[in-house]
Homo-oligomer: A and B are copies of this chain.
């Protein structure tokens, strides 16, 4: 019975840091290559968020170095990763917890942001610590005058930061944060992904200036190409359709509001006076009910009615910051140089009460795009580079392009770009690599892709008929002079018939010129702008 008793006595509780320390694969730290990639990415994303949330044009510099003594060691080895930004900085009293504590952060709000779980930076630091035993150094300033530097370790068992040293310097500069950590990495296997990551990030953040210096000292510079910072995403209230029992129970427990309609108007997204009243009538609640007196059973009835009531306005996308046609267009034209492209920006939709917008773009032909379909996935402006086949966008693209409906051959040179922005991205892993098959998301991706595919199909069929016409024109142009010559010879006439006009007529009436194609293209894009 030893095993039995063993089993009974061994229950234990572990801290969130401990959990992720034991299960680092969950957060994208599976091996030295993936870890170097994920650490870089998480810190860069924190930096971009720290700039954009306060409308600062981001200037991010990233460096990965060898330690001098390991320069000639083979990979995997220790690297020094430094990420520096000009964002809003972090108040010194928050900094140690923000970086040294799992499940502690500023991202637990209904707002579009790259960060979602409030743990990416901490995981990078934790991974560095367990693989090199070295502390992280963080310097941050909220005003560009006082610069606070911390050296931290994480107390993993208790999920809290250990401050090794702390100092403040005065100076003149900009606000911002810089993080420097040592970690076990493998640049040989990671460098292609890291460069892809920067390239694709640049594709959707042309307003940022990003500098990356790799261990060999090579510099990758992505200049800022537009001064338009995207609209700052706004924090929003929950939509009634996604509200669950737990959330309602909490709301009713903590509210001070005695008017039921007012409570609904204050706490929910796009619920006005009339909607609140209509809903309460639908749910069979007296308008004068004090929400603080609602019983448990009534709470259940209330939430069930919320899910059924179809009088709520759809979520407002004003809180979201999609890429928009301009950014997509400039990214596609500059990076992919296609023969044809089309863009579909879907109307806002929602899953579980979270508003989202899907943008799909499609680029065809040209010299840069290779044969076959290449998918570029983005979520809240983050490029997603791993696990495409498990991503809802990957599934949709595979599914739709498999069908014959669009007449597009498998080996057509095609790039598909998908961007999902939302107050909450339904990632399937803490490593933020791919999105769950939420049905609403699937539907919007499908519709967006269909829209762009239809445009491509019509472009290709126009191009097909143009090519047929050009071929016919060539035949006329080749034979008409000969026929004219023979006719002249046979008839003994002095001059051949005026066939030139025939060719010209044909041209005027039937031939679509390259300019016409361009115009037609502009027109078809116009529809969706």
Interface residues of A, Cβ cutoff 8 Å to B: 3-4, 6-8, 10-16, 18-19, 21-23, 25-26, 30-31, 34, 53-55, 88, 90-91, 94, 97-98, 101, 103-106, 108-109, 116-118, 129-133, 142, 156-157, 232, 235, 244-246, 249-250, 296, 299-300, 303, 386-390, 426-431, 434, 436-439
Contacts and interface: CB of A to CB of B under 8 A. Distances in A.
14 contacts: A6-B235, A7-B54, A8-B90, A8-B94, A10-B106, A14-B103, A15-B103, A22-B108, A23-B116, A26-B428, A131-B245, A133-B299, A133-B300, A389-B390
Nearest to A91: B8
Nearest to A425: B25
Contacts of A109: 10
Nearest to A23: B117
Contact of A16 (B19, B22, B55, B431): B19
A54 B6 CA distance: 10
A26 B130 contact: no
B11 A117 contact: no
A54 B246 contact: no
Contacts of A91: 8
A87 B273 CA distance: 56
A462 to B, nearest CB: 36
B31 A439 contact: yes
A94 B249 CA distance: 27
Q: Which 3 A-B pairs have the closest CB atoms?
A: A389-B389, A133-B245, A30-B436
Nearest to A14: B103
Contacts of A106: 7, 10-12
Given A105-B11, A156-B246, A26 B300 contact: no
Given A4-B88, A15-B103, A389-B389, A31 B429 contact: no
Nearest to A159: B13
A21 B130 contact: no
- Can you tell how many copies of this chain the complex includes? 2
A188 to B, nearest CB: 13
Contact of A129 (B13, B131, B246, B426): B246
A103 B303 CA distance: 29
A101 B13 contact: yes
A142 B8 contact: yes
A131 B7 contact: no
Q: Which of A3, A118, A133, A438 has the most CB of B within 10 A?
A: A133
B104 A13 contact: yes
Contacts of A131: 244-245
Contacts of A250: 157
A73 to B, nearest CB: 12
Nearest to A19: B103
A477 to B, nearest CB: 47
Nearest to A126: B246
A8 B98 CA distance: 11
Contacts of A431: 428
Given A16-B19, A390-B389, A436-B30, A246 B7 contact: no
A430 B142 contact: no
Given A7-B53, A18-B103, A157-B250, 20 more contacts: A3-B54, A4-B88, A10-B109, A13-B97, A14-B104, A30-B426, A34-B437, A133-B245, A133-B296, A133-B300, A133-B303, A156-B246, A386-B390, A387-B389, A387-B390, A387-B428, A388-B389, A428-B429, A429-B429, A430-B430
Q: Which of A16, A142, A296, A434 has the most CB of B within 10 A?
A: A16
Contact of A438 (B31, B53, B156): B31
Given A16-B103, A88-B4, A117-B19, A130 B246 contact: yes
Nearest to A248: B133
Contacts of A387: 387, 389-390, 428
Contacts of A10: 106, 109
B389 A427 contact: no
A352 B8 CA distance: 28
A364 B46 CA distance: 50
A246 B21 contact: yes
A54 B4 contact: yes
Contact of A26 (B16, B157, B427, B437): B427
Q: Which of A23, A34, A235 has the most CB of B within 10 A?
A: A23
Contacts of A55: 3
Q: Which of A8, A94, A434 has the most CB of B within 10 A?
A: A8
A91 B11 CA distance: 10
A498 to B, nearest CB: 61
A26 B430 contact: yes
